[in-house]
Amino acid sequence: MKYKLTSAFLIIGFATFGQEFGFDIHKTSLDQYIQMEEDLGSESLPVTSNHVSFSGNAQPFKFRRQQKGLPDLISYYYFKEKDSAMSHVLYEWDESRQAENTDLDRKKSREYQKALIRKFNQLEERISDRYGEPETTGDLTDLEQADKKSGLEKKDLWRPNDSTEIELYTVISNYYEKRGMITIKPTHRIRLEVKKTEKGDNNSSTISEERLQTLTALTGEFFRALSAEDLSGSKQFLSARIKEAVTREQLTALIANIDFDRETELIYSGIQVGTDGRSYTMLQYKYKDDVGDIPKL
């Protein structure tokens, strides 16, 4: 694959945004996005997790851009395996993504949090200048909330046309809690996503039969890896975010709490919206011989 970028494209596509981002995903090719990262001196990163796609996406390209006073920016470029057409782009400033950061329990200073808010506000202003005011939920005005369990959150959504969405989201929290095998750690993140949407897309809470079969098969492989106490193998079935955060102790505790000799059955499958506003697939299982009440969601 050859990565070429014309000077005319630089002027039209990126100059308005300091040649840092490409928001016109319909007119920007994978080659052009990669060339932009190379021009910015970004570091190409290996993709260590297998991204399961039900829409024909290949494994994404991943880059790191160094930042001052903020988490380094990690960029992901998702494209169709068939023709390399772009599907969505994800930019993340995320403290938990920093490979050198092994102390994720540590709280951040107010100055650090203010710097993250300034970055969010800067992005919000620049995107609004081009696409108008967004649909907004949450706010970042009360920094005292960053010490509470709810944390500070804000999400902006722009729809430049009927086939493009731009979402800007941040969460700022110093809250820490450890309860059994569940740990809530301080979180400091900005996420900027540009994605193509199809006309008539809806927020269906159901999963197609084909997708459910694929997910069920992957779940079976995950449980087999856990049953064999293959910790490294089991991590290959986790998302990149969970894979980087989960510990050996947590996986060991999970193994200890599953009775692999008992047969399980699927009791719920669907799409749920997380606290960050994004949709996630959920599969819920129970032991087949468990006659107790089905847990409420």
Q: What is the pLDDT of residues 123-164, one digit of tens each?
A: 999 999 999 999 999 999 999 999 988 889 999 999 999 999
Name the nearest CA neighbour of 142 among 175, 110, 167, 112: 110
pLDDT band at 52 (very low <50, low <70, confident <90, very high): low
pLDDT of amino acid 22? 87
pLDDT of amino acid 62? 93
Predicted TM-score (pTM) of this structure: 0.67
32 touches 13 (CB < 8 A): yes
Domain positions in the chain: 7-196, 209-287
pLDDT of amino acid 13? 40
pLDDT of amino acid 19? 67
Model confidence pLDDT, tens digit, residues 8-30: 333 334 433 446 888 999 999 99
* DSSP secondary structure of 138-192: EE---GGGGGSTT-EEEEEEEEEETTEEEEEEEEEE---EEETTEEE--EEEEEE
pLDDT of amino acid 250? 81
- As a whole number of angstroms, the distance between CA 60 and CA 83 comes to 14
Per the DSSP assignment, residues forming a β-bridge with 190 are 93, 170
Matching residue, tokens 């920016």: 73
